[in-house]
Amino acid sequence: MQPHTTILGRAATITAAAASRARSGGARAALALAVLAAAGAGAVAAAGPASASQMPVTSWSQTTSAGTYDYGTLTAGTTVSKTFTLRNTGGSDTSALTITLTGPAFTTTADSCTGTSLGPGKSCTVAVSYAPASASQTDTGTLTAAAHKAAVTARLALRGASANTVTVTGPGNQTSTAGTAASQQIQASDSASGQTLTYSATGLPDGLSINSTTGLISGTPTTAATSNVTVTATDTTGAHGSAAFTWTVNPAPNTVTVTNPGNQPNYAQGDTVSLQIQASDSASGQTLTYSATGLPDGLSINSATGLISGTLTAHGLWNTTVTATDTTGAHGSTSFTWDAGIPVTVIWPGNQTSTVGTTVSLQIQDVQVLASGQTLTYSAIGLPAGLSINSATGLISGAGTVPGTWNVTVTVTATGDIPNYTSFGWTVS
């Protein structure tokens, strides 16, 4: 037992000497001293006399001053990988290395260290990926390299965090027309409940904007163009999501205006007609084509000039619509009525006689063919004093008050037609 005691004493002497050199000579001796101390008295006794500078010393690269590597904040479901380097800065081999990794969110994806004995100045690498499984969590782990023969251990703390996931639903490509109001509601969701989203957008067409609180895009686009739009929703933690789409604004259609010529009364069957329709286009240089529906029989419209002409071949009341269309398909219309009735024929009642103070009644008779919507109006001049005519029925009634002879003229007019009349004498005795 005496030789063993001597070896242990020598080990203690070496340790004390190493400590003395560490105090006076620098960090390398101090680091070697620490490894030596970790090895234990038994290891030193087995190795025999050895200086601290001959011991293996390993350390991980890519660490912070606190010995921790931070993967940062990731979105749940994404993965990031980092390669760490283990280097032997000591004076002897490490013996075969064993690599262990803890933390469920961390995975070893490549390893050149396990089973390797690192010589002085040599290095190996281990790649570790971080993949947070869900949002709003913090993950920790430890990457450890151990060489049991030399009793060398290097540990690296790992850290990572996952952010909320904000999902913006793309609305699909949009199409609208310049000068016409447009709106589009943007939909978004957050993996964390209770979050408030703030909306923003880039590339919106001129005239449109997004409501930062509701996500509603609205306004009236002013310029024809295709825009690349990106909409982003951001929660209170800074987590955000985006969706991209195109928004095409087509030019505003031309405006064609047709001037109403007014209702056309007082025409009769056999009349020759010429009516010029006037129209204009908001776009210069456009050629207009004219058409019409509901024209009276015998009339037609010139498609190039808009002139309505012809000879009326039938009587009646027509509802006419004229349309002008340009080369882009833009069009305008106007409507009016066209009266081509037959003048009323009033039947002569014969000369009349009556007595002062005696009530009389004379119904004016007429022959007419009325178009739909037409009515008759009666009037009379030259009636004896005390007599009058009902304008709606044509009944002359009353009692003559003054004796004499009168020349009476009764006029009958159908709505929109030329009036007709009859004359007769009336003697009151």
Neighbour-count burial of 338, counting CB atoms closer than 10 A to its CB (0-12 exposed, 13-18 middle, 19+ buried):
buried
Q: Encode burial over 292-308: b for 16+ CB neighbours within 10 A, e otherwise.
A: beebbebbebeeeebeb
Q: How many alpha carbons fall within 13 Å on the CB side of residue 115?
A: 2
pLDDT number for residue 52: 47
Q: Are 348 and 387 in contact (CB under 8 A)?
A: no
Domain covering 345-428, topology: Immunoglobulin-like (2.60.40)
Q: How far is CA 263 from the centre of its chain?
A: 46
- Which DSSP string corresponds to 374-403? --EEEEEESPPTTEEE-TTT-EEEEE--S-
pLDDT number for residue 404: 94
CATH number of 58-163, picked from 1.10.8.10, 2.60.40.10, 3.40.1160.10, 2.30.29.30: 2.60.40.10
The predicted model scores a pTM of 0.46
pLDDT number for residue 135: 76
Of the candidates 410, 354, 423, the residue with the CA atom closest to the CA atom of residue 379:
410
Break the chain into its structural domains and give their ranges.
2-54, 58-163, 166-250, 256-340, 345-428
Spell out where 251-285 has E strands: 256-258, 272-276, 279-281
**CA atoms of 115 and 362, how far apart (whole Å):** 134
Q: What is the CATH number that goes with domain 256-340?
A: 2.60.40.10
Return the CATH class of domain 166-250: mainly beta
pLDDT number for residue 420: 85
Which residue is associated with the tokens 């980092």? 82
Q: What is the pLDDT along the chain (429 residues), one digit of tens a residue?
A: 333 322 222 222 223 333 333 333 322 222 222 222 222 222 222 233 344 456 677 778 765 546 789 998 887 778 999 999 999 988 888 889 999 999 999 999 999 999 999 999 999 999 999 998 877 788 999 999 998 766 678 888 888 888 888 999 999 999 999 999 999 999 999 988 899 999 999 999 999 999 999 999 999 999 999 999 999 999 998 889 999 999 999 998 899 999 999 998 777 778 899 999 999 999 999 999 999 999 999 999 999 999 999 999 887 789 999 999 999 999 999 999 987 766 678 999 999 999 999 999 999 998 766 655 678 899 999 999 999 999 999 999 999 999 999 999 999 987 766 688 899 999 999
Instruction: Please report, for residues 79, 144, 161, 259, 344, the alpha-carbon distance to residue 126 in angstroms, rounded to integers and kept in the order given.
Output: 16, 10, 21, 85, 112
Which residue is associated with the tokens 């004796």? 403
Which residue is associated with the tokens 């101390």? 37
Same CATH topology for 58-163 and 256-340?
A: yes
pLDDT number for residue 361: 95
Grouping H, G, I as helix, E, B as strand and the rest as coil, residue 293 is strand
From the CB of residue 3, how many other CB atoms can be counted at a distance below 10 Å? 7
pLDDT number for residue 60: 83
